[in-house]
Amino acid sequence: MMRSTFAVLLALVLASHIVPAQAPPTRAVLAGKLIDVRTGQVRNHAYILIAGDRVQSIADAAPSGIPVTDLSAYTVLPGLIDAHGHILSNPTSQNFADELRSSVAQDTVWGVYNLRIWLDHGFTSVRDACEGPPDYPQFALRASVERGLILGPRITAAGSCISVSGGHGDGAPFSPDIQLPRPRNVADTVDDIDHVVRRDIKYGADWIKLMATGGVMDPISDYHVQELSEAQMAEAVAVAHRAGKKVMAHAEGAVGIKAAVRAGVDSIEHGTMLDEEGAKLMEEHHTWLVPTLYCFQHDMITGLSKGRDPASFAKGKEILAAQGPAFKLALQHNIRIVYGTDDDDVDEAVSKEFGALVRGGLSTLGALQAATINAATMLGKDKDVGTLEPGRFADIVAVQGDPLKDITVMEHVAFVMKGGQIIKDPAHPNRNPVLHIK
């Protein structure tokens, strides 16, 4: 009797440790060349086997009886990640007056449009780097993509653009006789920071966005000047990290960069005036850098054509001169680089950051890593996206040519798959047409 009971118990224990059978693949993608973005190694004629929305395995052949997407003429990579976007941007205007005339409803419609453009260029994930409306339409867009109500990349979203009064993030400048309610993103004390950060987290922020310095696009702030204090930023980091959230800091001037790094932020956005001391600090603290090189370069092309304020444009010309030396310092100190665009015109600019990074001194593999594994790791999503490995989402892009030799081929993504769903296919170019602005 005892032996029989023992046998039953042993069988139950063994049964509880049986690994469930792997789901059979539902489709395959044949890659002419498949780039491993971790190492830069290239595998020829590889089949990516997909089960549902995930990569099951990489094989030399596909099992019979499943559909195969033939990309044998293409180079295949993981879906791309833009880690600094502003989803609600109006790509047709850089005029502050237009922002005042545009409703939140219209901004949200622009968001739907922009998300589709990101996806068409191969960006299957995007981090929104803060928005102005206090009711967080970016969170509604994030949820709508997750539920399949709209088509777009997976969204990781910051909340408000946390700023001091009169700082880069306090909105358009008005004359002092115009009385407006205090913006909900403005924080002038440590206590204010607590309130604003907790509000962002309450309503769904994945990241907290701090304005550590003045900026370039607004006509009134000084990008050299530190705005939020180090104590405020340290408090924001403490509150956010305690809640399991991360913190990014818009930081142009050297003083503000260093204060933000000492405060413990997870990423520096722009870092355009980075100096030797700041680079050492970022290296020691393992702080990520999202340099957004091309957006400043693109501004010199568009000039005042979209209604940009001349004072803002003058700042853009000044800061561009500092961009190259600062980025080289970052590379010399082995600071981890992540791809981000920060450009209102997603269609025109989103893929141009690859070329800007390489012109700035990053290797072609480094530029690909910035938009894949690096971005995924910074976002804490590297178990799901950033590489084509078993268990990751089947987020796949394909280009003609070899981006390891010519990075500009990344500006012409021919095929896009997100989570096993084909979004863009050269074999069916009109399957999911992209709208164009009239």
* 401-415 pLDDT per residue, tens: 999 999 999 999 999
Distance, CA of 314 to CA of 384 (rounded, Å):
42
Residue 181: which pLDDT band, with cuts at 50, 70 and 90? confident
Q: What is the mean pLDDT of residues 336-364?
A: 97
Q: Are strands 413-418 and 421-424 parallel, antiparallel or unpaired?
A: antiparallel
Q: What is the mean pLDDT of residues 240-266?
A: 98
Q: What is the mean pLDDT of residues 305-330?
A: 91
Asked if residue 140 has pLDDT above 50, the reply is yes
Distance, CA of 175 to CA of 196 (rounded, Å):
25
Three-state secondary-structure class, residue 208: strand
Asked if residue 17 has pLDDT above 80, the reply is no
Lowest-confidence segment of 176-180, 317-321, 342-346, 410-414 by average pLDDT: 176-180
- Residue 429 contacts residue 420 (beta carbons within 8 Å): no
CATH 3.20.20.140, the chain: domain bounds: 80-379
Distance, CA of 308 to CA of 342 (rounded, Å):
16
Q: What is the pLDDT of residue 11?
A: 52
- Residue 269 contacts residue 260 (beta carbons within 8 Å): no
Average pLDDT, whole number, for the chain? Answer: 92
Please name the residues in contact with 301: beta carbons below 8 A apart, sequence gap of 6 or more: none
Distance, CA of 25 to CA of 69 (rounded, Å):
13
Distance, CA of 71 to CA of 113 (rounded, Å):
28
Q: What is the mean pLDDT of residues 367-394?
A: 98
CA 273 to each of CA 251, 278, 310: distance values in angstroms, whole numbers, following the listed order: 9, 9, 21
Q: What is the mean pLDDT of residues 362-375?
A: 98
Q: Burial-class residue 125 by CB neighbours within 10 Å (0-12, 13-18, 19+).
A: buried
- Residue 30 contacts residue 398 (beta carbons within 8 Å): no
pTM: 0.93
Q: What is the pLDDT of residue 15?
A: 45
Q: What is the pLDDT of residue 19?
A: 37
CA atoms 417, 431, 425, 293: torsion sign: negative
Q: What is the pLDDT of residue 71?
A: 98
Three-state secondary-structure class, residue 109: helix
Distance, CA of 208 to CA of 157 (rounded, Å):
9
Which ranges of 121-229 does DSSP label H, i.e. alpha helix? 137-147, 190-202
Three-state secondary-structure class, residue 154: strand
Distance, CA of 213 to CA of 258 (rounded, Å):
11
CATH 2.30.40.10, the chain: domain bounds: 17-78+387-424
Asked if residue 4 has pLDDT above 80, the reply is no
Q: What is the mean pLDDT of residues 152-181?
A: 89
Residue showing tokens 């596909």: 62
Q: What is the pLDDT of residue 391?
A: 97
Residue 73: which pLDDT band, with cuts at 50, 70 and 90? very high
Asked if residue 8 has pLDDT above 70, the reply is no
Q: What are phi and psi of 223, to 5 degrees?
A: -65, -15
Per-residue tokens: 386:
């950033």
Start-to-end CA span in the chain (Å):
83
Asked if residue 82 has pLDDT above 90, the reply is yes
Three-state secondary-structure class, residue 56: strand
Distance, CA of 366 to CA of 362 (rounded, Å):
6
Q: Would you tell me how many other CB atoms lie within 10 Å of the CB of residue 387?
A: 22
Does domain 17-78+387-424 sit in CATH 2.30.40.10?
A: yes
HSE-CB at 238 with a 13 A cutoff on CA atoms is 13
- Top pLDDT among 47 and 316 is at 47
Angle between helices 293-302 and 310-332 (to 10 degrees): 150
Q: What is the mean pLDDT of residues 337-346?
A: 96
- CATH number of this structure's domain 80-379, picked from the four choices 1.10.3210.10, 3.90.1720.10, 3.40.50.1360, 3.20.20.140: 3.20.20.140
Asked if residue 257 has pLDDT above 70, the reply is yes
Q: What is the pLDDT of residue 350?
A: 97
Q: What is the pLDDT of residue 1?
A: 42
Diameter of the chain measured on Cα atoms = 92
Q: Which of 154, 163, 67 is nearest to 395 (CA)?
A: 154
Distance, CA of 401 to CA of 419 (rounded, Å):
24
